[in-house]
């Protein structure tokens, strides 16, 4: 058993609040670098709004492109927060403590970034706002509830509301802690956010119950969101989209990329904020083991999707499958998805030595997300390029520099928001850390001293 550093309460508070008060040079590099990419993003989007969608690479058969692929990708990333915090909270997995906050925040920011995509992708978002918010009920014009584009924002907004509430509930005790230790505008902000938290027994009880209830309530939403996003594709008649396996396939793919993104975030937090005492190697170990299961589940569904295309022997489905498995450039893309999404990372995660190596975990998690982005592209684009046998309508899709900037900018946007968040709020849940310290005990088992979590119910 490895040595565990016992931390005092005061030490935990001081260390976890450190990013709020000190800005390290690396954080400045992050702010400036991400800010620069973000400026390009804003410029690209404005350029697109001004000139019209003509500046993208979209054309007649390829009406959906990079922006929709990126939308699905970010929805996928957003699944990590709930996966990590709700499920692990309900199962009382101890290793969740340092990662819950970051995962939940990532959920919210990636969800917001994802929602931005379908809106800007219409080219004239003010019209979407005009027709949809507030809806034109007084003229008896209702949204078409048969369409997945109505289900989709409903599901995503429910998820956003739920996960924001969930995050906020877990943040209240920390806000009170921050309120008591700050002055100036921060004190005003934290006072408002702490909602008069005094830390008495009744408040703790209510906070705990609310946390559990919200994790329970959010789980069905978490399954439904990506199912509904998959129905954006599955209810259409496009070959290879029109598949019943899409809903669970998208959910498992989302968990795969989302949990990997949490690993990326953990490594970054360790390096940026020097949280070595909190995000420990055993956390990487635990999340690595989870990823083996999730990754293998994803591979199973990936193969199922191919199998379900072959099994009915439908000529058109087979045509597109053949196109995207064996024809350039999709054959390379398929190989890339297989190798990056599974065959490099999972065998590495099998070894504990590698799971406990932060650098290796960081790079494998990046690889998974490169593979998962490619997988979304692979799922969405080939079917659109060669929908049916009307060959005169086939065409390739070549994204323009504007779309590429939007995709890169979306990564910068999430990163930037996360950095800003960690300047204002503690990126690791302070009270959960302390609670963990209370539960942790050292037990004498034979001749060895073992770290254990003891709970009484």
Query: What is the CA 143 to chain-centroid distance, rounded?
Result: 29
Backbone angles phi, psi at 444, to 5 degrees: -90, 110
Q: How far is the CB of 231 from another protein (least distance, A)?
A: 11
Distance of closest approach, residue 51 Cβ to another protein, in angstroms:
8
Q: Between residues 96 and 387, which has the closer beta carbon with respect to another protein?
A: 387
Residues 193-252 that bind another protein (CB under 8 A): 232, 235-238
Please state the closest distance from residue 199 (CB atom) to another protein, in A.
Answer: 46
Q: In the bound complex, what is the minimum distance in angstroms from residue 59's beta carbon to another protein?
A: 4
Stretch that binds another protein, among 24-32, 120-128, 206-214, 363-371 (CB under 8 A): 120-128
Q: How far apart are CA 292 and CA 213, in angstroms?
A: 29
Give min distance, CB of 131 to another protein, in A. 5
| Contacts for 180 with CB less than 8 Å, ≥ 6 apart | none
Interface mask toward another protein for 150-179; x: CB under 8 A: x-----------------------------
3-state secondary structure 386-443: CCCCCHHHCCCCCCCHHHHHHHHHHHHHHHHHHHHHHHHCCCCCHHHHHHHHHHEEEE
**Rounded to an integer, what distance in angstroms lies between the CA atom of residue 344 and that of residue 368?**
9
Q: Which residue, 21 or 141, is less far from another protein as judged by CB?
A: 141
| Spatial separation of the C-alpha atoms in residues 336 and 73, rounded to whole Å | 16
How far from the centroid of its chain's Cα atoms is residue 425's Cα?
A: 19
- Least distance from another protein to the Cβ atom of residue 188, Å: 40
Instruction: Please list every residue from 371 through 410 that binds another protein, using CB under 8 A.
Output: 384, 387-393, 395
Cα–Cα dist 146/137, whole Å: 17
Compare residues 386 and 434 and give the one whose CB is closer to another protein.
Answer: 386
Between 28 and 142, whose beta carbon lies closer to another protein?
142
Choices 148-156, 180-188, 250-258, 275-283; region in contact with another protein by CB under 8 A? 148-156
Site residues for another protein, window 290-349 (CB under 8 A)?
none
Least distance to another protein, CB of residue 401, Å? 15
* Mask for 127-146, x = binds another protein (CB under 8 A): xx--xx--------xxxx-x
**Helical spans, DSSP H, in 64-140:** 66-77, 79-82, 88-90, 100-120, 125-132
| Number of residues lying near another protein (CB under 8 A) | 43
Q: Does 47 bind another protein (CB under 8 A)?
A: no
Task: Give least dist CB 170 to another protein, A.
Answer: 34
The set of residues, in sequence order, having a beta carbon less than 8 Å from that of 237 and lying 6+ positions away, is none
The distance of closest approach from Cβ of residue 333 to another protein in the complex, given in angstroms and rounded to an integer, is 20
Q: What is the DSSP letter of 84?
A: I
- H-helix or E-strand containing 451? strand 448-453
Q: Name residues whose C-beta falls within 8 Å of residue 383's C-beta, 6 or more positions apart in sequence.
A: 238, 239, 240, 241, 320
Closest CA relative to residue 373, chosen from 109, 61, 149, 68: 68
Q: Which of 232, 248, 243, 229 is nearest to 316 (CA)?
A: 243
Q: Output 194 or 384, the one with its CB closest to another protein.
A: 384
- Tell me which residue of 168, 172, 259, 166 sits closest to 212, measured CA to CA: 166
Question: 56-95 mask for another protein (x: CB under 8 A)?
Answer: x-xxxx-xx-------------------------------
In the list 16, 53, 99, 228, the residue contacting another protein (rule: CB under 8 A) is: 53
Q: How far is the CB of 120 from another protein (least distance, A)?
A: 11
Which of 181, 242 has the CB closer to another protein? 242
Q: Minimum CB separation from another protein for residue 21, in Å?
A: 46
Nearer to another protein by Cβ, of 61 and 199: the residue is: 61
Can you tell me the distance from the alpha carbon of 261 to that of 164, in angstroms, rounded to the nearest whole number? 19
Is the CB of 79 or the CB of 121 nearer to another protein?
Answer: 121
Torsion of CA 407, 374, 271, 11, to 10 degrees: 90
Binding site for another protein (CB under 8 A): 51-54, 56, 58-61, 63-64, 118, 121-124, 127-128, 131-132, 141-144, 146-150, 232, 235-238, 384, 387-393, 395
């Amino acid at each position: 058993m490895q040595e565990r550093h016992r931390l005092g309460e005061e030490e935990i508070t001081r260390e976890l609040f450190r990013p709020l008060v000190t800005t390290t040079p690396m954080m400045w590099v992050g702010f400036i670098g991400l800010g620069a990419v973000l400026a390009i993003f804003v410029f690209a989007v404005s350029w697109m709004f001004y000139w019209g969608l003509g500046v993208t690479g979209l054309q007649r058969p390829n009406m959906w492109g990079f922006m929709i692929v990126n939308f699905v990708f970010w929805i996928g990333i957003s699944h990590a927060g709930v996966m990590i915090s709700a499920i692990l909270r309900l199962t009382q997995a101890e290793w969740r403590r340092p990662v819950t906050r970051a995962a939940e925040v990532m959920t919210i920011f990636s969800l917001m970034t994802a929602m931005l995509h379908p809106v800007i992708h219409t080219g004239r978002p003010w019209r979407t706002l005009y027709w949809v918010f507030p809806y034109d009920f007084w003229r008896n014009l209702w949204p078409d509830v048969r369409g997945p584009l109505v289900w989709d924002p409903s599901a995503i907004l429910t998820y956003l509301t739920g996960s924001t509430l969930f995050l906020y509930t877990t943040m209240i005790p920390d806000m009170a802690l921050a309120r008591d230790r700050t002055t100036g505008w921060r004190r005003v902000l934290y006072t408002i956010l702490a909602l008069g938290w005094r830390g008495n027994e009744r408040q703790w009880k209510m906070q705990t119950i609310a946390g559990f209830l919200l994790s329970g309530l959010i789980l069905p939403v978490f399954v439904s969101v990506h199912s509904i996003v998959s129905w954006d594709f599955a209810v259409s008649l496009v070959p290879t989209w029109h598949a019943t396996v899409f809903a669970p396939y998208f959910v498992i793919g989302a968990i795969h990329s989302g949990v990997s993104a949490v690993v990326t975030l953990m490594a970054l937090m360790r390096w940026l904020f020097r949280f070595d005492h909190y995000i420990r190697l055993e956390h990487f170990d635990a999340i690595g083991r989870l990823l083996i299961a999730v990754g293998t589940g994803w591979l199973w569904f990936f193969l199922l999707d191919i199998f379900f295309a072959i099994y009915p022997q439908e000529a058109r489905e087979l045509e597109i499958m053949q196109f995207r498995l064996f024809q350039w450039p999709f054959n390379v893309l398929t190989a890339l998805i297989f190798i990056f999404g599974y065959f490099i990372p999972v065998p590495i995660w099998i070894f504990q030595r590698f799971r406990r190596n932060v650098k290796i975990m960081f790079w494998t998690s990046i690889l998974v997300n490169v593979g998962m982005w490619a997988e979304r592209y692979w799922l969405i684009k080939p079917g659109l390029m060669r929908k049916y046998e009307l060959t005169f309508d086939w065409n390739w899709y070549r994204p323009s520099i504007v779309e590429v900037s939007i995709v890169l900018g979306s990564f910068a946007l999430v990163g930037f928001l996360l950095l800003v968040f960690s300047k204002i709020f503690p990126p690791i849940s302070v009270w959960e850390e302390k609670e963990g310290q209370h539960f942790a005990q050292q037990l004498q088992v034979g001749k060895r001293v073992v770290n254990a979590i003891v709970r009484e119910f």
